[in-house]
Amino acid sequence: MAMLKVTQYSAWRCNLLSFRANNKKAQWIISRQFHGSAAKAAVKPFLLADIGEGIKEVQIIQWFVQPGARVEQFDKLCEVQSDKAATEITSRFDGVIKKLHYEAEDMAQVGRPLCDIDIQGDIAPEDEALTTLPAGQAGSPTDAQQPHKAAEHYWQEQQQTEEAEAHRMAQKSSKHGVLTTPAVRGLLKELSIDISQVTGTGRDGRVLKDDVNKFAANRHHSSQQPLDSTSVSSLESSHEGQNETRIPLTPVQTQMFKTMTRSLSIPHFLYADEIDFSRLSALRKRLNTLPSTPQKLSYLPFIVKAVSIALAEFPVLNARVEVSPPDSNGKDKPEPPRLILRKIINIGVAMDTPQGLLVPVIKDVSSLSINDITSRVTHLQSLALSSKLSASDLTGGTFTVSNIGSIGGTYVSPIIVPNAVAILGIGKARDVPAFGDNGEVIRKTVGNFSWSADHRIVDGATVARVGERVRVLIEEPGTMLAGMR
């Protein structure tokens, strides 16, 4: 091979980046840099950037691109689900997709390549981190001779898997080409159905829940065979042991596992009371008949507002505990625990979603009216059902309200999350017989409020006073409306 001669200039640097074999033809990719600006036509790994909140891995929900697809800046590459929210990853470069490192439902690691892009344009200095492989993955960056070896080593590894990847893609229809929602993917996983086997009837071939149910029903029907008594006996004797299947936790379950495990270190104090909803129920019904009411009101916005008023009067329940970890060497004495008071009241509302339990946060509740809270709850519910909650929607909470009664159950023992000192669980509202002021039997609408508090910080008397304050606000809603700003 003829020697490549490159004229040296003081302002120019020429680096041999990579060698790649394609169809048995060697291609040398030369990248020129001018004062640190990367050259054009360079195949680079596109790394999954840190999306914050300490997230180390995400699940690939779906790909919007395939190998060979041309992309531009801000084009969508894929949708990922972290343990907090679903996020769409967009391209920072113009170029052509060369390879996808993951399939749908795979777990992708932060800082590792998502895909390879043949970048057709300059790489801005601030975007260099998105294409730089982690130290130790393709050579040590501290060696001055390593840039050449690292790139060559990386592409040699890619070449070794290229033929196997092409064969696998030919044998199996690509999962990233099938569109569906995370809820449907969860149903597919639960029923052990390969999404590529299901014919989607939705828009653009999207697989719907009905498609999965029909596929499962047809599979079950085709697998059924009439069994005589002999075969039934044989089956029973051959399945005496339990049939167990190990499946990984979903991202939401993983986060719940971590959070609840940390919550075990908090000594819980439980306080419960019965609340009379009769007056609030009558007020709610009257407001819902008014044409000026923008949307139907439930009990929840009133409860959230009443809790915010009580938290403003008892700020200790809106605080968090700061505990310094012990020194690893055991030499320095850890600082004593401190209570961090928080002025703004952000109330998280636990919601049952297709992905599992999520707690989106209503920010600065003290500044909101009942109608404002209703609009925020409705908006967050819509985002949760469509898996569009952002990390911002799920962070910043100072107190949590769990309305488990909307599903069922009279009593609940809620568990405190580590960044708070209290939580309120609401049981189902129900009609019960009661005695009136003159001893007559009347019908009342009641519900149970269950408070859990961190007994390291909050004493029982304080919880009782807060609970009593909320009870008065709910049972006499006029006092709550009169005190609103």
| Active site residues per annotation | 455, 459
Cα angle at 390 between 53 and 300, to 5 degrees? 110
Burial label, 469 (beta-carbon count in 10 A; 0-12, 13-18, 19+): middle
Closest listed residue to residue 457, CA positions, set 305, 273, 315: 315
* Spatial distance between the Cα atoms of 279 and 479, rounded to a whole number of angstroms: 12
Helices (runs of H) and strands (runs of E) counted in the chain = 10, 21
Separation CA 351–CA 402 (nearest Å):
8
Written as one string, the DSSP assignment of 290-354 is: STT-SS---HHHHHHHHHHHHHHHSGGGG-EEE-PPPPTTS-SPPPPPEEE--SS--EEE-EEET
Nearest to 107 by CA among 46, 54, 61, 57: 57
DSSP 248: P
User: H helices of 142-277, where?
Assistant: 146-171, 182-191, 209-223, 229-238, 251-263
Report the alpha-carbon distance of residue 189 to residue 176 in Å, rounded. Answer: 16
Radius of gyration of the chain (CA): 30
Helix (H) or strand (E) holding 29: strand 25-34
C-alpha span between 474 and 299 (Å, rounded): 9
Q: Token pair for residue 464?
A: 């009782």
Instruction: Determine whether 71 is exposed, middle or buried from the number of CB atoms within 10 Å of its CB (0-12, 13-18, 19+).
Output: buried
d(CA 420, CA 417): 6
